[in-house]
């Protein structure tokens, strides 16, 4: 009895410690990202400002640009990561990743389409197009894989093929509509530079709803990942659940893309990292850890880019896939 | 009987390839009829500027397309036989992007001194990309076929991103690299084509001399060893040939990804698993695909061009998905 | 009778003038001509009548010289419209594709006797182009004002229009001097010049960009100096505050202000000193960032003068 108690206590302590350290890391990165920029604002100054907000230039710089940027970084990072978790459970596939399934590229194409037909459209409409584009691309990929019989390799290959196809279509569109200045330099490479409170306010509520939905359905989705028979015997409506999961994943990914652009491999890296850190199969904890890891990864890469190139904006999307690919390879090795 | 049947098919493929090549001489900014092209080629007549257009632009492009298309297809067939994996190719193993990256780095650091220097950069890149992919997917001395491809795609994406990363820091100077990364025949000249024609013919003929060994590689390792066939040595030789083929092709036209992946698969659909025919057929199919992608890219939007790499993706992906349906794993 | 007479006289007079000019020109230009260009010495056998030109600055100069090319390279897919002062001229001339990847067949089809291109854009096509016609490569899009004048002189020599050069340069120098005179009256100021991308990022031209020497002559100092090989970099509004320029020039793509409004919707934009002091000026991106011919530079000077950026009163 006491042994049982101790082991349970130990387990709880383990999670508590894990969460505390992840939380501290996130907060630390968050504050670091607030200090970074062309105008140097030291940490103690920031703490001062938080205690006694006054309408100085420093305060406005932090409040108006760095804070939304940091928040969007944290938000999109965690959203992409949990989208990865859900997708892996649903597909029962360790290599499933929204950016490899064409969802992100589809959202990108959707944005490109609306910018070609009507440059400088209002943000909500752009986001709608991103959603539709992502949903269609994701659906097409998954239906294709499904019709061939699902396997890890097929998922990656078909996703990669659809990605390449969408990329080629985007490029051809740019070549075929040269006069549309809206097309010029769409946020192709993934960057947090365009972050503002406005984009945060428009997108964040939907993302929060999606995140909550993840937590509500994660148990059922996990059961589904154990086998369809078990799920049906427990009274789960599989078709419904799949539809919900699909809606959650596409909205998480497409909305993140509309905020920060295309970031290849990101969800896959975040999920795999989380699994290594967590070392347990609890879906609930995986979801939480993945959220933290996603936020940390996104903020960290943005901070690094801003730390190295102080006066310039360098897209983090390219940087992410630069560090992402080796991590992916490593993960593929460790899992064996 | 069956052999005859296959030879007939091969002849049909061959005729198609010739026809497409001939069509590529006819189509372009100005259209020249069949007889116009003959008059220009044989009687050296200049019909409405055809002499320059055909001899200085279309023939180099066609030649380059034929050489590189067949080399991409061949190298992928070799890789597929060595790894016994129909999804292996220079693109899915990360070789193309790695050599493209090294060509890019080489040119921006040392300048373009000759075709052969590009070839060197490209070969170094190809070898590096392949080695990284191979060692990353090794597991206790074995190569897992699924992991090989997944890792290869990741490595390929890595090198592609690296190229893009370099390009964000160089503007006007390297603008022509955008089309190079996508794969293009635009910059082919009669000089660049003739510079690679000898090395590529040598490598291609060596490849065809190895057909017997490639066939033996299809056997399971135990059987092969039991008949005294040195599997490891031949695997290394064949892989080296494949890398060489890819490196030459990439240094000339950039990365024409999907063509290499698809051609051997189509060939296998038509001819089954005998390498005697599939090797030849896949290189013919590679030629047909490359040249037709080039034709489409240059006539669709005159006088502007869409890189054949992009066209080949658009026409290649649907077919690729169709082949995927038949995969077992 | 009288009418015919007068027109006859006019013709005679014009003919005489032409003769004088022609003899003058003949005295300076005789073919075959050896021209020094970026690609070495080029021999031009006869007076070129069918010219293909592959860069806007060089096209601009040919237009001033009254030479109409038979084919031109135009903007590529990602650049927006062609420069406005050249648009009507461009419309009457067939396009041969983009400036950096022109269709060689299209050029050959035009049977040019001279091809003029930009060294940084098409140096690798030189062997092919030489097969079509003698090719002159110049430093066009990346050439500073002195090089543009040099290009004008070279082009005039090649096309046997040297008599027109003094008038063109006089006009150019007049506008330039006028602008410099006005600029000299206002104190030296620091400046940022750039355009806004649709996603709202401020993309500024660096000190390497061609606009910089022109601004220098106008007593304006570009603040982006720390990059070595790039012509433009992305910066944030915060960085603009940090640089703290006296004035900002925003280049509009095809006159569209919407991207700027996106940038200005950033609350920090109100903290930019140049904005607070009404020192933000709008100019044409197609002229400032895409071509640097003589006429383009005249337009730049005129735009700079008419923008009011040299008014000493408004800077309060």
Q: What 3-state DSSP class applies to C221?
A: strand
A73-108 confidence digits (pLDDT tens): 999 999 999 998 988 888 776 667 777 778 888 888
pLDDT of residue A208: 92
pLDDT of residue C255: 73
If pLDDT is split at 50, 70 and 90, which confidence band does A188 have?
low
Task: Report yes or no: A179 at the C interface, CB cutoff 8 Å.
Answer: yes
Residue in chain B nearest A152 by alpha carbon = B146
What are the C-alpha distances in Å from A102 to residues A164, A315, C13? 9, 20, 74
- Asked if B187 and C124 come within 8 Å (Cβ–Cβ), the reply is yes
- Better-predicted residue by pLDDT, A116 or A139: A139
If pLDDT is split at 50, 70 and 90, which confidence band does B126 have?
very high
pLDDT of residue B184: 81
At residue C204, does pLDDT exceed 60? yes
Q: What 3-state DSSP class applies to C40?
A: strand
Task: Report yes or no: A64 at the C interface, CB cutoff 8 Å.
Answer: yes
B94 φ, ψ to 5°? 80, 10
pLDDT of residue A291: 93
Average of per-residue pLDDT across A175-190: 52
Average of per-residue pLDDT across A300-324: 77
Q: Tell me: domain C181-307, CATH 3.40.50.1980, correct?
A: yes
pLDDT of residue C21: 46
Q: Name which of A32-36, B108-112, B122-126, B186-190 the model is least confident about.
A: B108-112
- The mean predicted confidence, pLDDT, of chain A is 81
pLDDT of residue B175: 55
Average of per-residue pLDDT across A179-202: 63
Average of per-residue pLDDT across C139-155: 85
Q: Which residues contact C101 (CB under 8 A, 6 or more apart)?
A: B176, B179, B186, B305, C76
Average of per-residue pLDDT across A175-199: 61
- Better-predicted residue by pLDDT, B200 or B111: B200
pLDDT of residue B170: 62
Q: Among the CATH numbers 3.80.10.10, 3.50.30.30, 3.40.50.1980, 3.40.50.300, which is that of C28-161?
A: 3.40.50.1980
Average of per-residue pLDDT across B149-173: 74
Distance CA A5, CA A142 (A): 45
At residue A305, does pLDDT exceed 80? yes
Chains near C (3 or more Cβ pairs under 8 Å): A, B
pLDDT of residue C316: 35
pLDDT of residue B283: 93
If pLDDT is split at 50, 70 and 90, which confidence band does A236 have?
confident
If pLDDT is split at 50, 70 and 90, which confidence band does B43 have?
confident
If pLDDT is split at 50, 70 and 90, which confidence band does A203 have?
confident
CB-count burial class (<10 Å; 0-12, 13-18, 19+) for C9: exposed
Q: Residues in chain C whose beta carbon is closer than 8 A to a beta carbon of chain B? A: 77, 95-98, 100-106, 108-109, 111, 120-121, 124-125, 127-128, 131-132, 141-142, 229-232
- Asked if A181 and C241 come within 8 Å (Cβ–Cβ), the reply is no
pLDDT of residue C23: 44
A22-72 confidence digits (pLDDT tens): 999 999 999 888 888 878 888 888 888 878 777 777 888 888 888 888 999
| Residue found under tokens 């939907």 | A206
- The mean predicted confidence, pLDDT, of chain C is 79
Q: Which of A37, A57, A61, A115 to mutate to test the interface with C (most CBs of C within 10 A)?
A: A61
- The B residues from 122 to 141 touching A (CB cutoff 8 Å) are 136-137, 139
Number of residues in chain A: 336
CB B316 within 8 A of CB B258: yes
Average of per-residue pLDDT across C243-260: 82
Report the alpha-carbon angle C39-C43-C49, nearest 5.
105
Average of per-residue pLDDT across B150-174: 73
- Asked if C197 and A185 come within 8 Å (Cβ–Cβ), the reply is yes
pLDDT of residue B17: 94
Distance CA A142, CA A155 (A): 8
Which helix H or strand E contains C49, and what residues bound it? none
Q: What single-letter DSSP state applies at residue C102?
A: B
| Residue found under tokens 């907000």 | A53
- Better-predicted residue by pLDDT, C72 or B108: C72
At residue C56, does pLDDT exceed 80? yes
CB-count burial class (<10 Å; 0-12, 13-18, 19+) for B135: exposed
At residue A126, does pLDDT exceed 70? yes
pLDDT of residue B22: 92
Q: Among the CATH numbers 3.40.50.2300, 1.10.3470.10, 1.10.10.10, 1.10.645.10, which is that of B2-325?
A: 1.10.3470.10
For residue C192, the tally of other CB atoms under 10 A from its CB is: 24
At residue B245, does pLDDT exceed 90? yes
pLDDT of residue A184: 44
- Asked if A329 and B151 come within 8 Å (Cβ–Cβ), the reply is yes
Q: Shortest CB distance from A95 goes to which of B150, B317, B325?
A: B150
- Token code pair at residue A192: 């947090």
- Asked if A196 and C198 come within 8 Å (Cβ–Cβ), the reply is no
- Write out chain C residues lying below 8 Å of B167, CB-based: none
Peptide bond preceding C32 in cis form (omega within 30 of 0): yes
In terms of C-beta distances under 8 Å and separation of at least 24 residues, what long-range contacts does B218-222 make, across chains too? B218/B81, B218/B84, B218/B273, B218/B275
Q: Which of C74, C108, C197, C234 to mutate to test the interface with B (most CBs of B within 10 A)?
A: C108
Residues carrying CATH 3.40.50.1980, chain C: 28-161, 181-307
Q: Shortest CB distance from C198 goes to which of A37, A60, A185?
A: A185
Task: Report yes or no: A250 at the B interface, CB cutoff 8 Å.
Answer: no
Q: What's the gap in Å between the CA of A274 and the closest CA on chain C?
A: 32
Q: Is A196 left (phi over 0), alpha (psi -120 to 50) or beta?
A: beta
Distance CA A335, CA C68 (A): 68
Residue in chain A nearest B315 by alpha carbon = A165
At residue A224, does pLDDT exceed 90? no
Least Cα distance to C39 among C128, C156, C113, C126 occurs for C126
pLDDT of residue B292: 92
Domain locations along chain B = 2-325
pLDDT of residue A336: 45
Q: Name which of A307-316, C154-163, C288-297 the model is least confident about.
A: A307-316
pLDDT of residue B140: 72
Bridge partners (DSSP) of residue C189 are: C220
pLDDT of residue B168: 66
Task: Report yes or no: A168 at the B interface, CB cutoff 8 Å.
Answer: yes
At residue A123, does pLDDT exceed 80? no
- Write out chain C residues lying below 8 Å of A196, CB-based: 200, 265-266
Task: Give the count of alpha carbons within 13 A of B110, CB side only.
Answer: 12
- Asked if C104 and B302 come within 8 Å (Cβ–Cβ), the reply is no
A2-15 confidence digits (pLDDT tens): 677 888 888 888 88
Task: Report yes or no: A185 at the B interface, CB cutoff 8 Å.
Answer: no
- Better-predicted residue by pLDDT, C2 or C207: C207
Distance CA C117, CA C135 (A): 7
Average of per-residue pLDDT across C79-90: 77
- Write out chain B residues lying below 8 Å of A189, CB-based: 164, 168
Q: Among the CATH numbers 1.10.3470.10, 2.60.130.10, 3.40.50.150, 1.20.1560.10, which is that of A2-334?
A: 1.10.3470.10
* ipTM of the complex, rounded to two decimals: 0.76
Task: Report yes or no: C244 at the A interface, CB cutoff 8 Å.
Answer: no
If pLDDT is split at 50, 70 and 90, which confidence band does C294 have?
confident
Number of residues in chain B: 329
- Better-predicted residue by pLDDT, C28 or A187: C28
A267-290 confidence digits (pLDDT tens): 888 888 888 888 777 888 899 999
Distance CA B268, CA A177 (A): 39
């Amino acid at each position: 009895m006491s042994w049982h108690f101790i082991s349970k206590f130990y387990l709880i302590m383990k999670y508590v410690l894990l969460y505390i350290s992840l939380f501290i890391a996130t907060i630390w990165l968050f504050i670091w990202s607030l200090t970074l920029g062309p105008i140097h604002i030291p940490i103690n100054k920031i703490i001062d400002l938080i205690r006694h907000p006054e309408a100085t230039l420093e305060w406005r710089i932090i409040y108006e640009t760095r804070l939304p940027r940091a928040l969007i970084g944290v938000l999109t990072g965690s959203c992409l990561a949990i989208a990865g978790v859900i997708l892996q459970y649903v597909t029962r596939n360790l290599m499933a990743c929204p950016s490899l399934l064409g969802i992100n590229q589809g959202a990108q194409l959707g944005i490109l389409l609306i910018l070609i037909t009507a440059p400088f459209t209002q943000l909500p409409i752009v986001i709608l197009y991103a959603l539709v584009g992502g949903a269609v691309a994701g659906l097409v990929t998954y239906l294709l894989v499904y019709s061939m019989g699902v396997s890890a390799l097929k998922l990656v290959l078909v996703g990669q093929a659809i990605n390449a196809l969408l990329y080629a279509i985007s490029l051809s569109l740019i070549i075929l509509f040269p006069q549309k200045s809206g097309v010029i330099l769409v946020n192709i490479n993934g960057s947090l530079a365009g972050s503002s409170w406005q984009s945060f306010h428009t997108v964040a509520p939907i993302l929060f709803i999606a995140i909550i939905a993840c937590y509500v359905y994660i148990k059922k989705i996990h059961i589904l990942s154990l086998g369809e028979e078990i799920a049906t015997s427990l009274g789960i409506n599989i078709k419904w659940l799949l539809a919900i999961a699909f809606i959650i994943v596409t909205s998480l990914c497409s909305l993140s893309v509309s905020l920060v652009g295309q970031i290849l491999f990101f969800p896959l890296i975040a999920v795999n990292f989380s699994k290594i850190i967590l070392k347990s199969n609890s879906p609930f904890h995986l979801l939480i850890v993945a959220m933290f890891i996603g936020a940390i990864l996104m903020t960290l890469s943005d901070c690094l880019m801003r730390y190295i190139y102080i006066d310039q904006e360098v897209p983090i999307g390219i940087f992410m896939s630069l560090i992402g690919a080796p991590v992916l390879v490593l993960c593929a090795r460790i899992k064996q | 009987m069956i052999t005859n049947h296959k030879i007939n098919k091969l002849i049909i493929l061959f005729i198609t390839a010739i026809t497409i090549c001939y069509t590529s001489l006819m189509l372009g900014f100005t259209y020249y009829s069949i007889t116009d092209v003959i008059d220009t080629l044989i009687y050296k007549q200049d019909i409405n500027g055809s002499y320059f257009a055909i001899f200085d632009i279309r023939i180099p492009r066609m030649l380059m397309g034929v050489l590189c298309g067949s080399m991409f297809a061949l190298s992928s067939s070799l890789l597929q036989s060595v790894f016994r994996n129909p999804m292996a190719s220079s693109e899915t193993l990360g070789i193309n992007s790695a050599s493209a990256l090294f060509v890019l780095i080489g040119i921006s650091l040392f300048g373009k001194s000759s075709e052969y220097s590009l070839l060197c950069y490209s070969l170094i890149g190809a070898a590096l990309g392949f080695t990284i992919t191979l060692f990353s997917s090794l597991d206790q001395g074995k190569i897992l076929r699924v992991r090989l491809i997944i890792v290869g795609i990741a490595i390929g994406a890595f090198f592609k991103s690296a190229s893009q990363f370099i390009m964000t820091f160089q503007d006007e100077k390297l603008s022509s690299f955008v089309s190079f990364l996508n794969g293009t025949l635009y910059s082919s000249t009669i000089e660049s084509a003739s510079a690679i024609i000898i090395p590529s013919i040598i490598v291609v003929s060596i490849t065809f001399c190895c057909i017997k060994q490639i066939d033996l590689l299809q056997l399971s390792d135990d059987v092969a060893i039991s008949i005294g066939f040195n599997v490891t040595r031949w695997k290394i030789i064949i892989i080296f040939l494949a890398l060489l083929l890819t490196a030459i092709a990439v240094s000339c036209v950039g990365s024409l990804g999907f063509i290499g992946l698809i051609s051997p698969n189509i060939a296998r659909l038509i001819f089954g698993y005998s390498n005697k025919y599939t090797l030849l057929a896949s290189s013919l199919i590679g030629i047909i695909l490359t040249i037709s992608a080039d034709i489409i890219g240059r006539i669709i939007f005159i006088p502007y061009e869409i890189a054949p790499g992009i066209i080949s993706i658009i026409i290649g992906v649907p077919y690729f998905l169709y082949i995927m349906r038949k995969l077992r794993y | 009778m009288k009418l015919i007479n007068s027109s006859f006289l006019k013709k005679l007079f014009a003919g005489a003038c032409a003769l004088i000019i022609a003899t003058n020109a003949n005295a300076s230009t005789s073919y075959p001509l050896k021209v020094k260009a970026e690609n070495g010495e080029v021999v031009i056998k006869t007076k070129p009548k069918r010219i293909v030109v592959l860069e806007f600055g060089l096209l601009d100069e040919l237009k001033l010289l009254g030479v109409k090319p038979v084919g031109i390279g135009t903007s590529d897919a990602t650049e927006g419209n062609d420069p406005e002062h050249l648009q009507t001229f461009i419309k009457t001339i067939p396009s041969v594709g983009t400036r950096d990847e022109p269709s060689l067949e299209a050029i050959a089809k035009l049977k040019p006797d001279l091809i003029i291109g930009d060294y940084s854009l098409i140096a690798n096509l030189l062997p092919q182009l030489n097969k079509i016609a003698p090719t002159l490569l110049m430093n066009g899009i990346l050439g500073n004002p002195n090089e543009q004048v040099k290009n004008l002189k070279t082009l005039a020599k090649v096309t046997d229009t040297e008599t027109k050069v003094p008038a063109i340069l006089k006009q150019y120098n007049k506008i330039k001097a006028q602008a410099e005179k006005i600029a000299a009256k206002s104190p030296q100021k620091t400046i940022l010049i750039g355009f806004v991308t649709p996603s709202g990022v401020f993309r500024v031209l660096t000190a390497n960009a061609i606009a910089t020497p022109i601004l220098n002559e106008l007593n304006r100092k570009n603040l982006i100096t720390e990059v070595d090989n790039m012509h433009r970099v992305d910066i944030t509004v915060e960085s603009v505050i940090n640089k703290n320029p006296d004035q900002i020039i925003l280049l509009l793509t095809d006159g569209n202000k919407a991207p700027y409004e996106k940038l200005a919707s950033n609350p920090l934009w109100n903290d930019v000193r140049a904005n607070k002091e009404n020192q933000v000026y709008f100019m044409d991106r197609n002229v400032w960032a895409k071509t640097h011919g003589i006429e383009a530079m005249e337009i730049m000077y005129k735009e700079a003068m008419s923008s009011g950026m040299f008014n000493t009163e408004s800077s309060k």
